[in-house]
Amino acid sequence: MAIVAPPSRFSKYGRPVLAWAVGLLFFFPIFWMILTSFKSDADAVKPEYLFVFQPTLENYLNMTENYDYWRFAKNSVITAVSATIFTLFVGIPCAYAMAFNPSKATKDVLMWMLSTKMLPAAAVLYPMTFLTKSLGLFDTHFLVIMVLSLINLPIVVWMLFTYFKEIPKDIIEAGQMDGVNTWGEFKEILVPLAWGGIVSTALLCFIFCWNEAYWTVRLTTTEAATLSKLIEGNRAPEGLFFGRLSAVSAAAVGPIVVLGWFCQKQLVQGLTFGAVK
Amino acid sequence: MGRIVLDKVSKKFGDVEVIPPLDLTIEDGEFAVFVGPSGCGKSTLLRMIAGLEDLTSGDIEIDGENVTQVPPSKRGLAMVFQSYALYPHMSVRKNIAFPLRMEGMPQAEIDKKVEAAAESLNLNDYLERKPAALSGGQRQRVAIGRAIVRNPSGFLFDEPLSNLDAALRVGMRLEISEMHERMQTTMIYVTHDQVEAMTMADKIVVLRAGVIEQVGSPLDLYRAPRNKFVAGFIGSPKMNFIEGEEAAKHGAHTIGVRPEHIEVSASSGAWKGVVSVSEHLGSDSFFHVHDTGLAETITVRAGGEVGFRHGDTIHLTPRDDVIHKFDSSGLRFE
Ligand SMILES: Nc1ncnc2c1ncn2[C@@H]1O[C@H](COP(=O)(O)OP(=O)(O)OP(=O)(O)O)[C@@H](O)[C@H]1O
Ligand SMILES: [Mg+2]
C-alpha cells in the first residue's frame, strides 16, 4: 500500500495563494486596460478617478466609427487564418517526413529551422522593407500571410515533429502491412492519432499570428493592416489618449482571449506534450 | 500458396553488417521458426521478408515472383507484432476490418469476414471496445484476427507471445499451432524461447550474429546439432560441455552430454560430484553438480522422485549412445 504523506500547510494554503497571486499579477494589466477603456481620455490620466469614474462607451463607439475597427479586424482574421492553414499545410508533411523517415541530417535540419528564430528581426528590417517595396508586395495580404507563416513555421514543425515522434513506429508499420498508401496512412492513422497535437499547434500558431506586431506594423499601411497596426496607430507619445488606446487594445486582444479561454484544455494538453496516448 | 525464397540477402545498418549474405527457403505451408540470442538479427530478417526493411543486397521471392522491390502491402503477407500494434483509435471491429477496407472490399463482405474471424478467436464480446480496454491476451487475439481476415499467403510473427504471462503463453502457443494445422499457410515465427521453437516448428532456423548456424526439424537439431552453438541453444536445460581428458577418451576436443542423458546414483557411477543446487519441479528434478573435475557445473535432469539435496555426494553416468563429440573448431562429428 502506498503511504501518502498528509498535505503540508504550504501545499494546502500556500500553493493556492501563490497561484492566485501569480494569476492576478498577469491579469492585472489586462484588467487595467479594460478599466481604462471605459474612461474618457481626460479621466484616464487623473489619479482621483482611479476606480470611481463615469463609465463611457465613447471610446468604443469612436473606434468603430472613426477608425474603421472592422477593417483591421477583418484583415487580422484573414491573415491569421490563412497563415495558420498555410503553415500547417507545409508543416505537417515536413514534420511527417522527418519523424518517420529520419536521416542523419534530421536533427541538424530541426536545429537549423529553430536557429532562424534566433536572428533578431531588426537585423533584416531594412532588407525586408526594401525588398517588399521593390517587389510591389508592401502592404498586401499575401505578404502578411507569408511573413506570418514563415516566422511560425519552425515552431510549428518542431511541435508537430514531437507529436508525430510519439506515435509508435509499429503502428505505422502495421498500417503499411495492412495496405495503406501514403495518403491513407496520413488520413487513417497519423492524423487521428496526433489530432490533439495538431489542434493545439494550430491554436498556438493562430495566436502567434494574431498577436504578431513587429512585421505587421512595419510592412503594412492601410490595405493589409491588422489590429496590431490599429493599436500602433493610436499610440500617442504624449499619452493623451489612454482611454482610446485601451479600448483599441481591448478590442484587439478580446477575440484571442475568448478563443484561448474556450480552448484552454486543448492548449494546456498540447503544450505539456501529453496529447498522444 | 506461400513459398518464400531468400537468395543471398544481406543487410547493413551504416557500416555494420547485421546479416551477411544468406540463403534460405521456406516451403509453402511450412511453420518456420527463427531462433537465436538477442541481437542476432531475427527481427531484421523477418522485417526484410515483410518489406519493412530494405535489402542491402540479394533477392526475395514469394511463389516464384521477385518481390525485392515490392512494398509490404503488396507482398501478400500479414504480420503480428510483439507490441500488437493495434490502432488505438479504432474499435476491435474496425481494427480487424482495416486491411479489408484498405483493399476496398464491399462493407457487407467485410462484416461477414470480421464476424467469422472474431468467432474463431473468441472476440465476439469485445468487438465494440477500443484496444486500451482489452487485456494483453485479447489484444494479441485482435492482432491475429487482423492478420487472418486478409487470407494472406504467409504470416510473420515477431515474438508475439513475449508480453504475455506464462500460462497465457502456453494457451496462445497451442492456438497458433492449431491455426496453422487448420489453415496450412506458411508461417514464420521469431522467438528466443526455445520451447516455443521446439513445440511449434516444422523447421527451425538457428541464427547467430546474422549467420544461419543450422536449419532442420526440431528433433534433427536436438539429435544432431551441427556445432556446439546449436547444441547449447536447443534443449533445456542446456547441454553440458566437457573438455580435456574425459573428452580425449572419446577422441574429441569437447564432448556434450544433455542433462536428461545422465543417470544419477547415490552409490556408484562414472563421475562423482557434490550437489550445489537442487530444483524440484514435481515431475522432474534438476541438480547442479560441482566438484566433478570435468566442468564448472554439470546439470542433470532426473525423475521427480529423486531427492538429492544441497551438499549430497552424487554419482553420474552418461548414456554412451548419446554423447556428442565436437572437434576443436566446435563442429560436431560422429
Ligand atoms: N535501425 C537500426 N539501425 C542500426 N542497427 C540496427 C537497427 N535495427 C537493428 N539493428 C541492429 O541489428 C542487430 C539485429 O537486430 P534485431 O532486432 O534483428 O535482433 P533480434 O535478433 O530480433 O533481437 P531480439 O531477440 O532482442 O529481438 C542488432 O545488433 C541491432 O542493434
Ligand atoms: Mg527482435
How far is it, in rounded angstroms, from Cα B147 to Cα B175? 14
The pairing of strands B154-158 and B186-190 is parallel
Cell 512595419 locates to: A218
Nearest to B308, CA basis, from B274, B262, B269, B271 = B274
Q: What integer pLDDT is reported at residue B315 of this predicted model?
A: 95
CB within 8 Å of B173: residues ≥ 6 apart? B161, B196, B199, B200
Kindly state whether B71 is in contact with chain A, defined as any CB-CB distance less than 8 angstroms. Answer: yes
Provide the pLDDT for residue A271. 64
**Chain A residues close to B71, C-beta within 8 Å:** 176
- Probe target for ligand 1 pocket from B11, B43, B81, with the most ligand atoms within 8 Å of CB: B43
Q: What is the DSSP string of A57-94?
A: -HHHHHHHHHS-HHHHHHHHHHHHHHHHHHHHHHHHHH
Q: Which of A170, A177, A180, A195 to mutate to test the interface with B (most CBs of B within 10 A)?
A: A177
Chain A residues at the B interface, defined by Cβ less than 8 Å, are 168, 170-171, 173-180, 184, 188-189, 192-193, 277
Nearest chain A CA: its distance from B332 CA (Å): 40
What b/e sequence results for B286-306 when a residue is b if at least 16 CB atoms lie within 10 Å of its CB, and e otherwise? bbbbeebebbeebbbbbeeeb
Does a structural domain hold residue A21?
no
A11 part of a folded domain: no
Distance CA A61, CA A66 (A): 8
CATH number for A259: 1.10.3720.10
Q: Of the residues B10, B11, B12, B13, which should be mutated to test ligand 1's pocket, given the most ligand atoms within 8 Å of the CB?
A: B13
What number of helices (H) and strands (E) belong to chain A? 15, 0
For residues A207 and A183, what is the distance between their CA atoms, to the nearest angstrom?
A: 29
3-state secondary structure of A176: helix
The verdict on residue A18 lying in a domain is: no
CA-based nearest residue to A213, from A164, A260, A256, A259: A256
CA proximity to A159, closest of A130, A193, A200, A214: A200
| C-beta atoms of A180 and B83 within 8 A | no
Return the C-alpha cell found at B97.
476490418
Q: Which pLDDT score is estimated for A4?
A: 63
Domains of chain B: 4-232 (3.40.50.300), 237-333 (2.40.50.140)
Domain presence at residue A14: no
CA-B34 nearest atom, ligand 1 = 21
Chain B residues lying within 8 Å of A193, measured CB to CB: 88-89
Residue A8 lies in a domain: no
Contacts of B86 in chain A (CB under 8 A): 171, 174
Task: Give residues (CB < 6 A) around ligand 1.
Answer: B 13, 18, 36, 38-44, 192
Whether the bond between A7 and the residue before it is cis, its omega within 30 degrees of 0, is: no
Q: Which of B17, B18, B45, B196 to mutate to test the pocket of ligand 1 (most atoms within 8 A of CB)?
A: B18
Cell of B50: 515483410
Task: Answer yes or no: do B73 and A171 touch at CB < 8 A.
Answer: no
For residue B313, list its beta bridge partners.
Answer: B274
Tell me if B81 and A178 make a contact (CB, 8 A cut-off). no
On chain A, the residues whose CB falls within 8 A of the CB of B77 are 177
Extract the residue ranges of chain A whose pLDDT is less than 50.
1, 274-277
Q: Nearest Cα to B121, choosing from B199, B182, B192, B164? A: B182
The confidence score (pLDDT) of residue A266 equals 76
Residue A22 located in a structural domain: no
* Strand partners of residue B65: B62
The reply to whether B105 touches chain A by the CB within 8 Å rule is: no
This prediction has a pTM of: 0.82
Mean pLDDT for all residues in chain B? 93
B63 touches B15 (CB < 8 A): no
Q: For residue A117, what pLDDT is reported?
A: 84
Q: Which residues of B touch A175 (CB under 8 A)?
A: 87
Given this model, what pLDDT does residue B167 score?
86
Domain that holds residue A62: 29-272
Minimal-distance CA residue to ligand 1 atom 3:
B13
Pairing of strands B240-243, B254-257: antiparallel
Return the residue whose CA atom lies nearest to atom 24 of ligand 1.
B38
Q: Is B202 exposed, middle or buried (0-12, 13-18, 19+ CB in 10 A)?
A: middle
Atom of ligand 1 nearest to the CA of B190: 22
Burial of A14 (0-12, 13-18, 19+ CB in 10 A): exposed
* Chain B residues within 8 A of A170 when measuring between CB atoms: 81, 83, 85
Which helix (H) or strand (E) segment is A209 a member of? helix A191-211
Residue A108 maps to a domain: yes
Chain A residue with the nearest C-alpha to that of B98: A178
List the one residue out of B322, B325, B314, B323 whose CA is nearest residue B288. B314
Exposed, middle or buried by CB within 10 Å (0-12, 13-18, 19+), for A53?
middle
Q: pLDDT below 50 — which residues of chain B?
A: none
Tell if the CB–CB gap between B85 and A168 is shorter than 8 Å: yes
How far, in Å, CA of A267 to CA of B235, rounded? 57
What ligand is nearest to the CA atom of residue B36? Answer: 1
Per-residue 3-state assignment (H helix, E strand, C coil) for chain B = CCCEEEEEEEEEECCEEEEEEEEEEECCCCEEEEECCCCCCHHHHHHHHHCCCCCCEEEEEECCEECCCCCHHHCCEEEECCCCCCCCCCCHHHHHHHHHHHHCCCHHHHHHHHHHHHHHCCCHHHCCCCHHHCCHHHHHHHHHHHHHCCCCCEEEEECCCCCCCHHHHHHHHHHHHHHHHHHCCEEEEECCCHHHHHHHCCEEEEEECCEEEEEECHHHHHHCCCEHHHHHHCCCCCCEEEECHHHHHCCCCEEEECHHHEEEECCCCCEEEEEEEEEECCCEEEEEEECCCCCCCEEEEEECCCCCCCCCEEEEEECHHHCEEECCCCEEEC
Rounded CA-CA distance B246/B233 in Å is 23
Cell triple for residue B7?
537468395
Residue from A178, A185, A189, A193 to probe the interface with B (highest B Cβ count within 10 Å):
A178
At A268 the pLDDT is: 75
Q: How many domains does chain A have?
A: 1
